[in-house]
Amino acid sequence: MSDCNTRGIRVILDLVPGHTSMDHAWFQESQKAERNQYTDWYIWNDSVWADQEPGLNITRGYAERNASYIANFFYFQPALNYGFAHPDPDKPWQQPVSAPGPQAVIQEIKHIIAFWLERGASGFRVDMASSLVKRDPRKIETGKIWLDIRAWMSEHYPEAVLIAEWGVPAQALQSGFHVDMLLGGYHNPGLTSLFRKRGIGMHRDPYGWSFFDEAGHGDITQFVDEYTQQLEQTQALGYMGIITGNHDETPRLADGRDDRQLKLIYLFLLTMPGTPFIYYGDEIGMHWVDLPSKEGGYNRTGSRTPMQWSQEPNAGFSAAQPDELYLPIDPSSTRPDVASQFSNPDSLLSRVQALTKLRHSQSALDADANFEVLYAEAGKLPFVYTRTKDGQRLLVAINPAAYPTQVTLPANTSTQAPLPVDVPKGASLTRQETGWDLLVPPVSGVIYRVE
């Protein structure tokens, strides 16, 4: 990590505080019949014969002790014990957060955080950040734990960052996180309506068409209404992060799309507020691969294949034999790779690099720059917004449709001739009697500086 830091690269590690493997030494001690240091580090009921608990995933018959354990998701992911927000007094095994077991776990999480920060890590992306305290529907007790950790980090490691995989920005940022990732599915259906195709993937799109679809059937208001409300609630607390995908999302961003569509998505992503997140491989257009499940991956497994660096064996990812890889490389003869795109100025990777450089060069594209929607109508295009900071104002328009779109913007959109910043051939922003006439070519976006 020190080598990365000297190159200006900050390494953020994945922290999984909610559970461990059932093979972990802590759990192996916790499952023993005789009490020990780790007996209460996991959540165990008081009898292997006890009935199932509503809302809790109980696994029976594994332990030496006469008890069943709570798993966070799959049976091999026993939940660490952070207590219950509302323990049932008739079930003493439901411990409060203040009990010795939960408090010991919280202290151990701090030790783990300190261990890695001392070795050069710059922070953590926290897996299932809202899952700690059980029977905590409003996440109040879970939030208190993170606020305590954030206060401790601010005192001892003030430069470190906490990024939540929470999906509810108001809760996460009020709980001490600097950033919360906007997740698709039921967390933020408006985000799903942006990128995920109709009827495909783990999280079915309840709205139908993706906004970034050449047919032009998408509805940007499904995203904008949700996003602007959350932005208003959180902009004084921290940042929201739009993601291209993650290890749980299927299909991948590139599936069913060509480079024109992907380049437009990145123009949108890298001109929006907050902190953008690009899932590895999405910057070169990696595809989902049809694979058998591995360790509970199921249909998500195909979004987790190795990074494709070159056309060398194993796509340059590893010198091991192909059958020794955890997951196989995409077998397609047309699979994308970094080396092939790196020196091609027209490649997806080059476009992502150029837009990233543009974002860093324009204060109006900073994470905290003001965001204002100028035009967002259900079933209509383009989507138009401005970003403003330090006297600089940029106008961005997005047209995912396979046909040109046009809209007349208010006369006060600009007081003088707009300055093209990133404008494709055929686009225009011209003054008319009634306002500014904006024309956006098919499957493209524009960026103008306006005053």
Residues in a beta bridge with 372: 386
pLDDT digits (tens, 9 = 90+) for 402-443: 999 999 999 999 999 999 999 999 999 999 999 999 999 999
Q: How far apart are CA 379 and CA 77, in angstroms?
A: 44
Please report, as a single letter, which amino acid is at residue 279: Y
Q: How confident is the model at residue 1 (pLDDT cuts 50, 70, 90)?
A: confident
Sign (positive or negative) of CA dihedral 211, 216, 222, 223: positive
pLDDT of residue 207: 46
Q: Which CATH superfamily is domain 371-449 in?
A: Golgi alpha-mannosidase II (2.60.40.1180)
- Work out the average pLDDT over 7-18: 96
Structure tokens at 396: 């961005």
Element (H, E) at 208: none
CB atoms within 10 A of CB 326: 11
Domain boundaries, the chain: 101-363, 371-449
pLDDT digits (tens, 9 = 90+) for 20-59: 999 999 999 999 999 999 999 999 999 999 988 999 999 9
Q: How far apart are CA 46 and CA 69, in angstroms?
A: 10
pLDDT digits (tens, 9 = 90+) for 353-386: 999 999 999 999 999 999 999 999 998 999 999 9
Q: Is omega for the bond preceding 189 within 30 degrees of 0, making it cis?
A: no
> Per CATH, the architecture of 101-363 is what?
Alpha-Beta Barrel (3.20)
Q: Of the candidates 162, 106, 158, which has an alpha carbon nearest to the alpha carbon of residue 132? A: 106
Residue 400 has pLDDT above 80, yes or no: yes
Strand ranges, E, within 39-194 = 57-59, 69-71, 123-126, 161-164, 179-182
Maximum C-alpha span of the chain: 84
pLDDT of residue 71: 97
pLDDT digits (tens, 9 = 90+) for 127-160: 999 999 999 999 999 999 999 999 999 999 999 9
Please report, as a single letter, which amino acid is at residue 256: G
pLDDT of residue 197: 59
148: helix, strand or coil = helix
Q: Measure the CA dihedral 401/406/409/413, to 10°.
A: 80
pLDDT digits (tens, 9 = 90+) for 311-363: 999 999 999 999 999 999 999 999 999 999 999 999 999 999 999 999 999 99
324: helix, strand or coil = helix
- Work out the average pLDDT over 185-190: 81
